[in-house]
Amino acid sequence: MKKLFIYLLSALVVGLTSCVDNKEQELTLSSPTIYKISNLKASSFTADWTSIVNAQSYELNLATDENFTNLVAPYESVSTKEDFFHFEGLAKGQTFYVRVKASLKEKSSDFSSAKSITTLVEDGVEPDTPLKDVATTFRVGMATIVDRLNGTHDEIYKREYNQISAEWEMKMNIMYPEEGRYDFTLADQLVEYAQKNGMEVHGHALIWHAATPDWVENYAGTDEEFSDMVEDYIKTTVTRYKGKVISWDVVNEAIDDAGGNYRNSVFLERMGEGYIQKCFEWAREADPDCLLFYNDYNLCWDRTKLDAVITKVVDNFQSNNVPLDGVGFQMHIGYNGPSKTTIAEHTKLITDKGILMHFSELDVKINPDNDLSAPTEEREFAQKDKVREVVEVYNAIPESSKFALTIWGLRDDESWIPSHQGHDDWPLLYDKDFTIKKAHTGFLEGLQE
């Protein structure tokens, strides 16, 4: 009896083992995706990839060419059970390519797509590759003011960017300060600078509730006279820069944050809900060739507000043949959100409409909760990763939807964010001393996809 029991138990074990072996043979392994490069230094970096279900280990190769014919010792073939690996002892200022595949016993997946990484020339010194040289399928923009069109600002602008926006000098309160008197002095200087240096100008912004001169807020005429005044302002301005300003934010921030209603403004009060449509029609009449954008904030994460913009502006305009070339997402975000997935999903809702997408005002806060007194390396790496994610999302949209990715300021100490949130922050790609930050490298890495 005992022998029979041992025989049956052995048969059961053999059967189970055979069943497990058969299941393993049936399993297929997906290829990992290298989604992050971090801890980049002069001779080292860390690669992270997606975990693959059923994988027991991962094999990596490192090479100096994308065909992996020139493998780098000792990383010709590295095996690890982790979903990340730290490479070190590398040449400085060298471009490397890394790929990874998943393994289960004798089975393995295909290799991932290769990820390219350029090590720093020396620790603490980020690559100074001009952004516009790498972003070959869209414009790289910079927000500026006339007082910064000289010195080191001028050198960096000309090296890095092929489009500029006026941070505040092409808004109504500046260009139309008094009834019957226009003042295009500063706008003219900015446009002339761009023309001289082979840059394009994105006009920002014709109508914005927060940049309305007092005389307009307190306009004494009738509603009809008010509408005529706005028409004259838009047509006068757009006509002046016809052929010089390639695009305009015609209306900025016209949807509120409470349920996606029309924002209360003097334009809404005096002209009704149709004022947005009229502004776009007047801009098109003044310049049939310039690109016309609606621009707003929080659209990359606030679905209620985005849905309102799509309904009230995009769908409404397209149904009624109102001119609209694109939508601008003001990318005022933080190191800790929104997620790349959310940004991509919201972006697709616009590009699916067949219009242009502008990531119009990029900055990434690293101190939104005021828990830092100075930048930390950890937060700077997080900022770099978030910039990389934003650029990856933009770079992946259909080419027919690409327009520009605009950074909202050059140096940290020139950002609008610290004064707005009431405490220090360091949200841009250069520090106060014009030193390139990790965030700038994140922009470059985002273009490697």
Nearest to 31 by CA among 123, 137, 103, 96: 103
- Whether the Cβ atoms of residue 295 and residue 327 lie closer than 8 Å to each other: yes
Task: Return mean pLDDT, the chain.
Answer: 93
Q: What is the pLDDT of residues 394-435, one digit of tens each?
A: 999 999 999 999 999 999 999 999 999 999 999 999 999 999
Strand duo 326-330 + 107-108: pairing: unpaired
Contact (Cβ atoms closer than 8 angstroms) between residue 334 and residue 364: yes
Say whether pLDDT at 5 is over 50. no
- Torsions phi, psi of 271, nearest 5? -120, -10
How many helices and strands in the chain, by DSSP H and E?
A: 15, 17
User: Does pTM surpass 0.85?
Assistant: no
Query: Does residue 340 sit in helix, strand or coil?
Result: helix
Annotation marks residue 281 as catalytic? no
Measured distance CA(394)–CA(348) in Å, rounded = 10
The reported pLDDT for the residue numbered 26 is 58
Q: Which of 126, 167, 200, 361 is catalytic?
A: 361
- Burial per residue of 421-436, b for 16 or more beta-carbon CB atoms within 10 angstroms, e otherwise: eeebbbbbbbbeeeeb
Which residue in this structure is represented by tokens 């975990």? 51
Q: How far is CA 54 from CA 27, 34, 61, 109, 428, in A?
A: 8, 18, 21, 11, 41
- Nearest one of 65, 73, 105 to 89, comparing CA atoms: 73
Could you give the percent of the chain with pLDDT greater than 90?
Answer: 85
Which band of pLDDT confidence, cut at 50, 70 and 90, is reported for residue 10?
Answer: low
Check if 399 is active-site.
no
Work out the pLDDT band at 2, boundaries 50, 70, 90. Answer: very low
Token pair 């971090």 is found at 38
Please state, in angstroms and rounded to a whole number, the distance separating the CA atoms of residues 130 and 437.
13
The answer to whether 116 and 448 have CB atoms below 8 angstroms apart is yes
Q: Which residues contact 124 (CB under 8 A, 6 or more apart)?
A: none
Beta pairing partners, 202: 165, 247
HEC letters along 235-270: HHHHHHCCCCCCEEEEEECCECCCCCCECCCHHHHH
Mean pLDDT for 319-328 is 98
Interval 107-121: pLDDT, tens: 999 999 998 788 887
State percent of the chain over pLDDT 70: 94
Catalytic annotation, pick one of 200, 253, 380, 445: 253
